[in-house]
Every structure is written in C-alpha cells, then in structure tokens.
Amino acid sequence: MTQHPGTAADDFIPLLDDDHGGHRSGIDSWRILVVDDDNEVHAATEFALHAVRILGRPLMLRHAHSAAEARELLAGDRSIAVVLLDVVMETEDAGLSMVGHIRDTLQMKECRIILRTGQPGYAPELSVFNEYDINDYRTKAELTRTRLITAITSALRSFEQIRTIAENRRGLEMIVHASADLMETRAITALAEGVLTQLAAILKLPLDGIVCAQRGSPCASDPDGLYIVGATGRLAGHVAEPLHAIPDLAIVRAIETCIAEGRHIFGDDHTVIHLRSGHQEAAVYLNTQAPVPTSDRQLIEVFAANMSASFGNVRLVEQLHHTAYHDGLTALPNRTRFILDLDEFAARGSPDGVVALLDLQHFADLNDGLGHDAGNALLVSVAKRLQAHMAGTGRIARVGADVFGLIGPETRVNPEALFDAFMPPCEAGEHQLPVAITIGFCRPLENDRTGISLLKRANIALNRAKRSLHSSHEYFIPEMEDNTRWRLDIIRRLREDFHHGKLAVWYQPQVSLASGRVVGIEALVRWPGDDGFVQPPGVFIPLAEYSGLIVEIGDWVLDAACAAFREIRGLADAPAYVAVNVSMPQVRRRGFAQRVEAALAANDLPPYAIELEITESLAMEEPKAVVHSLQALKAIGLRIAIDDFGTGYSSLAHLREMPIDCLKIDRTFISEIADGQGGMFAETIIALGQKLGVGIVAEGVETPEQAGFLRGLGCPVAQGYLYAKPMPLGELMGWLQARAASPAN
Ligand code: C2E
Ligand code: CA
Ligand code: CA
C-alpha cells in the first residue's frame, strides 16, 4: 500500500530538469510501465507523477494489472524506459518471472526495472538482482512522492547511459562492418550511415535531419559537385542525389561553407563536421538546435580525425570499383560489367530480349585522320545516340575500343531501328560525321546459361557481318560456332612452331622515373610467322592457355628469360630483375615453385632476379588458390607483380592477402593522361599502391607529358614506347650499353 504524501520536505519537488546530458530534442516522453494488481497503487502513482518532467521530458504512464497484461503491453511497446513492478501479484513469483520474461524472452536489456513490494519482510535473493539487472528495490511504503521521482530519475539516467552506449556500439559496429565490406557497391553509403548513427549517439540527437555530402558523385563521373552519401529521417530519400536536391537551403549553404572553408563549423543551432583524406572531402551537417558544449566538440574532433581516414580508404576503393566497371571516356559500363549484366539476363531467360554488339566501321581511320580528340568525341556522341535510342529500356556498354554492347527488347534492338538511329550524322568536335555501323545480334538460346557465351555468340555474329559483302548485320545461328575449327588450326600451328624452336622472347626496359636508370626488363614472347608477320601474343596466348600449351611455352619463356638475364647481368648499370608473365595454368600446376627454382639455379641467379607478373583478372578469378601459390613463390624470395591492374575486379581483402611487391597500372589508364580529366585512375592506383606499400610500374608510357605527370604523382617506374619497344636480346644489350654511356630520361 502506498503511504500518503507526508512531510513538507517530501512535498517539495526539486527542479529535476537537468539539461546536461539531456535529450536536446525535448519532445519525446519517457514511457513508464506500472505493473501492479492493486488499483490504488496505479492511482497513487499516477497522482504522484502527474505533470512531472524528468531530464527535460514529460512522463507517459502505462498500466498493467496482471503479469499477463504486462506481457501483452510490452510485446507491443518496446520503448518502455522504466518498469515499476510489483513483486507479488497473482502468485509469489509472478513479478520475478515477469523480469525474466522482459530480459530473456523479450530481450529488452536497456529498460530499467524498479521492484516494489508491499511486504517489508519479503525480499528476493540477491542473485536475482545481478542475474536480471534490476535497478532498485523498494517497499511501497518507502516510496513517497519525492523518493519515487528520485528513483525514477536515477533509473532514467541510467537508461539513457545504457542506450547511449548501445547506440555508440551500434554505430561502431556499422563502421567496422563498413570497413570490412569495403568492396560492397554501396560501401560509402554504409560508412556514411555508420558515421551518422555514431554522431547522433555521441551528441544524443534524434536520427533525423543529418546529412553527409561528399565532393564527387558516388556513381557518375562528376568529380567536383557535392553529392549526398548519407542522410537520415525525412532526408533519407536524397542519398546519391546532388546536394541541391535538399529542400532546406540552410543545410545546403552550411555544407557548402564547410567544404569551401575546409573546417568544422560550430553554429548556434547546427554543427557541420569536415572530413578530409587526400583529395577527398566530405561534410556532415547536424541539426543540434543548440550550441554544442566544449566537451562534445573535442569528441567530435577526435571522431572526425578518425573517420577521415576510413572515409578516404572507402572512396579510394570505390573509385577503383567504379573504374573496374566503367569506361572512363563515355562513362558507360565496360565489358566486365556488360558480362555481369549478360549473366543476369541469361539467368532470367527473358524470351523477348536481344543482345547486340555494334561496331563502328572505319573508326581506326577516322581516329588517325582527324586525331585522337575527334575520335574520342565521336565515341561519346555514339554513346549518347545509343542512350537516346534505348531510352532507358535496356543496357548499354562500351565493350571494346569502338564496339558497344546492347541488351534490350526486340522493339529497339533490331537492325532497322538501329540503322535508323544512325542515319543522322554524329557530332565529333567541330565535325559532323556519318557513322556506319555493323551489328551482330544474338537471341538467347535454350542452353545459354552464361553471359560470356552470349557475348561470344554475338561477337561471332558481328565478325560474320563484318566479313559479309551484302549485309551490315547478322543474327547468330549455332552453325557459326564452327570457327572453333579455325582456333584448333592456330593451336596446331603454334604447337608445331613452338616445338621447332620458332618462338622468340623479346625484352622491354622498365625505367626509374626519378633517375632515368633502367631498373628491370619484361620478357614478352613473340611468334614470328614465315611471312615475316609477327603474331601478337594478345591473340595466341589465350589460345595457348585454352589448350594448355601455355604450360610448356611458359616454362620455356622462363628459362629463356633467366638465360638472357645472366647475359646482361655483367653489363654496367645492369637492370636488377627480369619480369616474366605467367598464366593461371602454370601457377595452378604443382611444382611450379620448384620449376622456377631450377631455372634460377641453372643460370646461377638469386631469386630476386625474377619478378613474376600475374594479371589482375586471373589473380582474382581464383583468389584463394592464387594467394596460396603466390605465398609458396614468395617464400623462395621471388618478386611478384599484379599486371594490368585496374582492369579486373580486385577485392581489397584479397589484395591485402596477396604477397605482392608491385602493381602494374594498365596502359588504358596511362593513355587517358593526355586528355585533361585523365590520369585520375592512375592517380588513384598510385595512391593505393603507396598505401599498400608496394612498387608501381606505369605501363604504356608513350609521351614525355605522361612521364612527367606520373613522376609528379610519385610513381617510381615506367615502361613504354617512350623509352623503348620490346626488342630481341641482342638489340637490348646494345641499347643498354648505349644508355649506360649517355643516360637519358
Ligand atoms: P602485358 O604483360 O600487359 O605486356 C605489355 C604489352 O604492352 C606488350 O604487348 C607490349 O609490347 C605493349 N607495350 C609496351 N609498351 C607500350 C606502349 O608504350 N604503347 C603500347 N601501345 N603498347 C606497349 P605484347 O607484347 O603484345 O603482349 C601482350 C600480352 O600478351 C602481354 O600483356 C601479356 O599479357 C601476354 N604475354 C606476352 N608474353 C607472355 C608470356 O611469355 N607468357 C604469358 N603468359 N603471357 C604473355
Ligand atoms: Ca606483363
Ligand atoms: Ca600489362
């Protein structure tokens, strides 16, 4: 039974409003649940707490008259902060089993429980307090109005603390999760969400009206504009949109100011936090409604410093991710992405969809005749023409230099419609050029289960169309696949020529950008034909890989490279290593490490004289197996390089695991350096290499401008026609000697 309000002191209700650490929003009420089988207790509690505010917020009482009723009520309302619970109700232990239900069954760990009993003599076992995390235990007689309020206040304070800690933890978990899952498509948004949750918890703000914006679009190619990467509550729908999409101008201006001034802004009713890592910048806007206290500012500063680093990492990886899937020039998805889209399309088995490959006739001539810039402009305008034609009904990709891929409904992806679309000339700089196209079509067949097989078939049809004298398009039919005969013929000739010793290995120097010294050479296989025409390895290596012949050829290249390196080792200013390309079938085979050791031993070479180059896409096809093999090779002391970096889809997690010494930036990224915006991906890869602490070689450096740009970014080594084309050993020796005599850059 409750005691009536007694002494005057008890009637004096202290001002319990305590803003420090309180909830700034001040709108929500604290929900208190009273569980008691005595109606009078409910009435008295209601009376005692009438119009009381605690920690700046009003109370909202809910009432249950039995354990069963309390269960039902709790199941429907998880936001209860404090439960005032009668120990003895229907049965002796009804109250305590209620506590068990709250903690164990409902998993409500945060709400506070105050036990009340009418019988002074009755007290539960001490262990119950620990086990069930009970806050307070009072006899009802003890609970005068003031004491009741005091007890509830301290329970609410501890409820707030527990909730803050839990929110902090949730925020931290999100951040940890975001960093672990760096490669997920929306990693930056996951990270932003973590940052916002964490900040809201630190500052005890409601999760509403917080915005994180970064410089540069998360998905398209605009590197300068401000874009929203995280937002909460009513603004959540704006993620991935430009900052200006936010209707509240004050927020937009505050974020712009923060980025422009490059510092945190602590305003009277808002705070904007500045995050920066390298060239990457972002700002987080918080509607604090009041100035942030000094103690919280320090927290924010520490937090911002930490987050800046994670933020930089995620952006780096996301840019690489974007690079891996997009064509830099047209911003269309690239071949890798197109194959994934085709996979999805094949799996869906849509009967009315068609795949097409569209090739621009005479593009190479145009490019040579009008220049690179006009060529690029033409590709961009073709991309736009295709986008307009498809009008969002399908997928468009740039799958080769002058080849575009389409997936879409037959109504748009058919010869008449596409030829019509290209009737008007295309703009290319100041030129208006007529564009002639050749198209290969492929309708999915019964047994097309993979994207790559669809692409292959569309490509077969395209090649047919190119050779055809009457028509500029072809649909794939199964008989066309007979070109396997052509492939088998090449493989047979390659095998013959290889066994007759007709293959050769040429060498291309790798040069230090700082000193101009030759630091290494790369061995590149050549297949000279009887007619003097040298087959490009880009054609026959895939066939050799496909047939397994690459294992023998690769072994031979390795021996030849070691023997060559022994020859040039003695020269003045000799390079430090020879790089040898290896294919998956070689690496996968058992005993590969021993093979390399034998080649080294036969030529009296130390292990670090060899750098093995493995292409990124191969390495990432079977990362587990590759990591394993590479570790065995690394254990011997060999150097390992990832070739064509930036063109495959690297998981940062796997990349970290791989014992690599060097990343080779693919030459497509170097060739972009010529035209203004270019070089961004090279820059990103160089930054990644530096972060991973590995060497970097830029491939395909053709102009002094490119070399200068790369040198400026701190790229250590370059390889390319600017220095020398690949050449036979004899020629290389002469070249090296001449260079040692009069070093150039
Ligand atoms: P890669 O390993 O990326 O080799 C670099 C390619 O770029 C070489 O083409 C080289 O001649 C060319 N290159 C070098 N500098 C420049 C430049 O400044 N501009 C331009 N446009 N190109 C440049 P190559 O010799 O035709 O080799 C093509 C690919 O064949 C190689 O690409 C490599 O993946 C593969 N390959 C070559 N030799 C072997 C080998 O012995 N074993 C294996 N498994 N693959 C090989
Ligand atoms: Ca290579
Ligand atoms: Ca390469």
Structural domains in the chain, CATH included, are 9-164 (3.40.50.2300), 181-325 (3.30.450), 335-476 (3.30.70.270), 490-740 (3.20.20.450)
Residue 568 CA to ligand 2 center (angstroms) comes to 20
- Assess whether the C-beta atom of 702 lies below 6 angstroms from ligand 1: yes
Res 77: pLDDT: 87
Computed on alpha carbons and rounded to an integer, the radius of gyration of the chain in Å comes to: 35
Work out the mean pLDDT of the chain and round it to a whole number. Answer: 83
> What is the residue with the minimal CA distance to atom 33 of ligand 1?
581
- Mean pLDDT, residues 32-43: 91
pLDDT higher at 309 or 138: 138
The ligand minimizing its distance to the Cα of 611 is 2
Number of other CB atoms surrounding residue 99 within 10 Å: 22
Ligand 3 center from residue 697 Cα (angstroms): 9
Name the band, by pLDDT with cuts 50, 70 and 90, for residue 523: very high
Residue 664 confidence class, pLDDT cut points 50, 70, 90: very high
Which residue pairs, CB below 8 angstroms and at least 24 apart, start in 205-208?
205/24, 205/25, 205/286, 205/287, 205/288, 206/25, 206/233, 207/232, 207/233, 208/232, 208/233, 208/234, 208/235, 208/287
Q: What are phi and psi of 245, to 5 degrees?
A: -70, -20
706 lines ligand 1 (CB under 6 A): no
pLDDT at residue 446 above 70? no
Per-residue pLDDT, averaged over 26-30, amounts to 70
Q: Is 434 in the pocket of ligand 1 (CB under 6 A)?
A: no
- Write out pLDDT tens, residues 350-368: 777 899 999 998 888 888 7
Q: 505: CA distance to ligand 3 center in Å?
A: 16
H helix runs in 181-293, sequence order: 187-203, 249-261
Query: Could you report the per-residue pLDDT of 601-659, keeping only the tens digit for each?
Result: 999 999 999 999 998 877 776 777 788 888 999 999 999 999 988 876 666 667 777 88
Whole-angstrom distance, CA of residue 698 vs CA of residue 510: 9
- Predicted confidence (pLDDT) per residue in 184-243, tens digit: 434 677 777 777 777 777 677 777 778 888 887 765 556 778 888 888 888 888 887 888
Local confidence band at 718 (pLDDT 50, 70, 90 cut-offs): very high
**Cα–Cα distance measured from residue 350 to residue 542, given in angstroms and rounded to the nearest whole number:** 31
**Which ligand lies nearest the alpha carbon of 541?**
1
pLDDT at position 164 over 80: no
Taking only the tens place, the pLDDT of each residue in 50-102 is 989 998 899 999 999 998 999 999 988 888 999 998 877 667 777 778 888 89
Distance of CA 596 from the midpoint of ligand 1 (Å) = 21
Position 130 scores a pLDDT of 66
Range 526-547 average pLDDT: 83
Predicted pLDDT of residue 295: 64
Cβ(666) to ligand 1 under 6 A? no
- Asked if residue 616 has its Cβ within 6 Å of ligand 1, the reply is no
Confidence of residue 738 (pLDDT cuts 50, 70, 90): very high
pLDDT of 12 reads 35
Please tell me the distance between residue 744's alpha carbon and the centre of ligand 2 in angstroms. Answer: 24
Find the mean pLDDT for residues 695-721: 95
Cα separation, 84 vs 31, in Å, equals 11
What's the pLDDT at 110? Answer: 86
The confidence score (pLDDT) of residue 235 equals 84
Tally of CB atoms within 10 A around 76: 7
**In Å, what is the CA distance from 196 to each residue of 167, 230, 235, 278, 398?**
11, 8, 13, 22, 37
Q: Is the pLDDT reported for residue 139 higher than 80?
A: no
578 lines ligand 1 (CB under 6 A): no
> Has residue 714 got a pLDDT over 90?
yes
More confident residue, 355 or 324: 355
| Position in ligand 1 atom list of the atom nearest CA 505 | 41
Please give the angle made by the CA atoms of 55, 60 and 66, to the nearest 5 degrees.
Answer: 130
> How far apart, in whole angstroms, are the C-alpha atoms of residue 707 and residue 368?
23
Ligand 2 centroid distance, CA of 557 (Å)? 13
* Whether the Cβ atoms of residue 243 and residue 218 lie closer than 8 Å to each other: no
Assign 251 a pLDDT band (cuts: 50, 70, 90): very high
